[in-house]
Amino acid sequence: MAFDIEMIKAVYAKYPERIAAAREAVGRPLTLTEKILYAHLAQGDATQAFERGVSYVDFNPDRVAMQDATAQMALLQFMQAGRNQVAVPSTVHCDHLIQAEVGAEQDLSKAKDKNREVYDFLSSVSNKYGIGFWKPGAGIIHQVVLENYAFPGGMMIGTDSHTPNAGGLGMIAIGVGGADACDVMAGLPWELKFPKLIGVKLTGKLSGWTAAKDVILKVAGILTVKGGTGAVVEYFGEGANSLSATGKGTICNMGAEIGATTSIFGYDEKSEAYLRGTERADIADMANGIKEHLNGDKEVYDNPEKYFDQVIEINLSELEPHINGPFTPDLAWPLSKFASAVKENGWPAKLEVGLIGSCTNSSYEDISRAASLAQQAVDKKLTAKSEYTITPGSELVRFTVERDGFLNVFDKMGGVVLANACGPCIGQWARHGAEKQEKNSIITSFNRNFAKRADGNPNTHSFVASPEVVTAMAIAGDLTFNPMTDTLTNQDGDQVKLDEPAGLEMPSKGFAVEDAGYQAPAEDGSSVEVIVDPKSERLQLLEPFAPWEGSDLTGLKLLIKAKGKCTTDHISMAGPWLRFRGHLDNISNNMLIGAVNFYNEATNKVKNQLSGEYGEVPAVQRQYKLHGVGSVVVGDENYGEGSSREHAAMEPRFLGVRAILVKSFARIHETNLKKQGMLALTFANPADYDKVQEDDTIDIVGLTSFKPGVPLTVVLNHSDGSKDEIQVNHTYNAGQIEWFKAGSALNLIKGNS
């Protein structure tokens, strides 16, 4: 559980010189984001780095955090790197595989039994390679990271989209795919396009019913789910300094819903108080020593329009509580207008369930403020009209709020405490009756509310709000209720009004815990055996991919010509396939089953050129592999958009696809293909997509002189004996060409280790 104090000292030691060099290079004051990113450049070329939204830059993150669903393949890959230990401090957190159904104790016990082989693998591989392991029940990755590892001015990557939660403590924290995490753990730098910057100036101070959650709900309404794409959102101003560290974490966490690369706040007295309150006083002392470098320059915040690409200003004193939804986290409604919206849109006014917690809102402050309303319900003889669940973010928080009596208060109100895990927020909710697909409404303090996300029911209208508003709505059982103005009828028939919520940012008696759920790795893991059952359906050790044979590729068959959108979900579906995330062979049975075949407008139905019959995409490709025949996948625009799921690149590679040829790639997927030793190619002339025919045999020529910036030639040998020669482009640099030749980036790392 140690927070790597020597590493943090080393990070802080380079700040003054690095930031002075950056300021001189660009000739202007710097934002906080620019300071942290420049301090973590793998190479110190400030001129290139500060071309916002243009240049790809290599960074050296300080640490890696992985959740259990994505850690499996990341660590299976890492085992191929030939290292004895991870190159940077890393942790694994078991939070995604626990399904909410009955309550904390029963659900956790069931998950441990059901997922035992996955947990045993993650525990053993962590123990062997120097990785901290947080057991199931220890808490949600982002809350645990905030409590133990986040530090001002640091840089972290995590295998979960809500990794930016750590921005609440002034850390650049970015969600990535498992392949990126693997590379950083193996000692490679990490590539990112230098982001654009959105500045959010906060003035005033929150009061009454308004909470930190309402800031991001307001911002989401302004920027929409795409408005932050390619940008870092930097919060500043007197209003920012008034927010608790965990409140800032809430705002940064949900920044993922506007597409932001990450979000961040500067270091201030609230940050210091949280560090000291979570037993990290030595980090606070060090941060105080370089405090000027852990905030943007004064000139930037005095004149933000000159230094940010976009500026938003919000007065916290005037901000109203918000409820966002349904079906999208950016449909923002001020509380005063929400009841009318419910009526006008015909949304179900009866509230079935209120759910608080998740990685976004499960701090001591969140739970104490919600508990103040639950206590009011008990004292004022109100019975909660809706089901109500509480998901603590960590065992540290759960133990402390139980000690302070809050869980008992929720129990009296009729609430159910769930395990310290993601649960309903990520769809791990065995909601009774959801299979009926009835139209209904729920309200949560989570971050996402897309259709079917929580319970699989497309007719569940899911709304997002602060824990305080969620609790009040659950007491009322009615979405048209406004707790700021309306009254409720109690058990005696009296009209009573809820008072404003009250709570504490930090526990007055300090945090406490008996067993936080942490397992430290062995000091010497050389004798530790990684536990994987050869007969397992969920886990499979990886074999290195074969290196390039040294010649042009000839005689390849067309596997599929995908029509239209082909995201990573089309290439490697989620849902029930998630259980195979650690078994490459089994999960490869979902390869491209969602892609639309250009020739028959069908999914998962392609022509097998060896038999002339049509079959499922993975089955046809397995036949090609069995007969030693390589293949090519052809795609449309922005191929591979969506999540940074490395399985979408690994599956074709594993089954014998040699090249992906498309009109254009989504950047992360293109990089993932390169890392796996695949050829990621684009039509020099997009119209050549139309020349590809269903029965084509394909040659790729020019590989013996494969060089950066030099196109290759693809020969389309048609079944009638004719052929087309077309030029194809690539974006491989010299290092990435070596990945291809070695068979994968990991093969190259292993060969050089």
Q: Encode pLDDT of 88-123 as tens digits.
A: 999 999 999 999 999 999 999 999 999 999 999 999
DSSP summary character for residue 545? P
Q: Give the active site residue among 581, 645, 647, 653.
A: 645
pLDDT at 202: 98
Encoded tokens for 365: 């402050």
Report angle CA 684, 688, 694 to the nearest 5 degrees. 135
Q: Which residue has the tokens 């890696």?
A: 64
* pLDDT, tens digit (0-9, with 9 covering 90-100), for 581-593: 999 999 999 999 9
Known catalytic residue: 622?
A: no
Q: Which of 700, 688, 698 is nearest to 718 (CA)?
A: 698
Neighbours of 57 (CB within 10 A): 23
669 with 649: CB under 8 angstroms?
yes
H or E segment at 238?
Answer: helix 238-242
Q: Give the active site residue among 271, 588, 643, 744.
A: 643
* 644 has pLDDT over 70: no
210 vs 451, more confident: 210
Average pLDDT over residues 63-71: 95
Helix orientation angle between 212-223 and 245-253, rounded to the nearest 10 degrees: 30
CA distance 403 to 512: 8
Known catalytic residue: 695?
A: no
* pLDDT, tens digit (0-9, with 9 covering 90-100), for 389-411: 999 999 999 999 999 999 999 99
Average pLDDT over residues 437-444: 97
Q: Which of 340, 311, 313, 324 is nearest to 224 (CA)?
A: 324
pLDDT at 47: 65
H or E segment at 729?
Answer: strand 723-729
539 with 117: CB under 8 angstroms?
yes
Q: Give the active site residue among 160, 455, 478, 696.
A: 160
Known catalytic residue: 658?
A: no
Neighbours of 94 (CB within 10 A): 27
Q: Give the active site residue among 18, 40, 93, 96.
A: 96
* pLDDT, tens digit (0-9, with 9 covering 90-100), for 320-352: 999 999 999 999 999 999 999 999 999 999 999
Q: Give the active site residue among 95, 180, 268, 636.
A: 95
Known catalytic residue: 699?
A: no
Give Cα separations from 616 to 301, 607, 622, 636 (angstroms): 57, 9, 10, 20
Q: Which of 50, 132, 138 is nearest to 94 (CA)?
A: 138
pLDDT at 2: 57
606 vs 44, more confident: 606
* pLDDT, tens digit (0-9, with 9 covering 90-100), for 671-713: 899 999 999 999 999 999 999 999 999 999 999 999 999 999 9
pLDDT at 749: 85
* 140 has pLDDT over 70: yes
Between 76-80, 189-193, 377-381, 420-424, the lowest mean confidence (pLDDT) is in 189-193
Neighbours of 204 (CB within 10 A): 15
H or E segment at 620?
Answer: helix 617-626
List, in order, residues 6 or more apart from 451 with CB less than 8 Å away. 327, 458, 460
> What percentage of the chain exceeds 70 in pLDDT?
99
33 with 264: CB under 8 angstroms?
yes
Known catalytic residue: 667?
A: no
pLDDT band, very low/low/confident/very high, at 4 (cuts 50, 70, 90) = confident
* 1 has pLDDT over 60: no
Known catalytic residue: 160?
A: yes
pLDDT band, very low/low/confident/very high, at 3 (cuts 50, 70, 90) = low
197 with 308: CB under 8 angstroms?
yes
Burial of 403 (0-12, 13-18, 19+ CB in 10 A): middle
pLDDT at 631: 98
CA distance 549 to 323: 58
Average pLDDT over residues 183-194: 90
Give Cα separations from 251 to 166, 256, 394, 423, 468 (angstroms): 10, 10, 18, 20, 16
CA distance 181 to 166: 17
3-state secondary structure labels for all residues of 252-299: HHHHHHHCECEEEECCCHHHHHHHHHCCCHHHHHHHHHCHHHHCCCHH
- CA distance from start to end of the chain: 28
CA distance 361 to 367: 8
pLDDT at 335: 98
Rounded to two decimals, the pTM is: 0.92
pLDDT band, very low/low/confident/very high, at 52 (cuts 50, 70, 90) = confident
601 with 562: CB under 8 angstroms?
no
Give Cα separations from 338 to 428, 453, 496, 538, 631 (angstroms): 28, 22, 21, 45, 54
239 with 315: CB under 8 angstroms?
yes
Report angle CA 424, 430, 436 to the nearest 5 degrees. 110
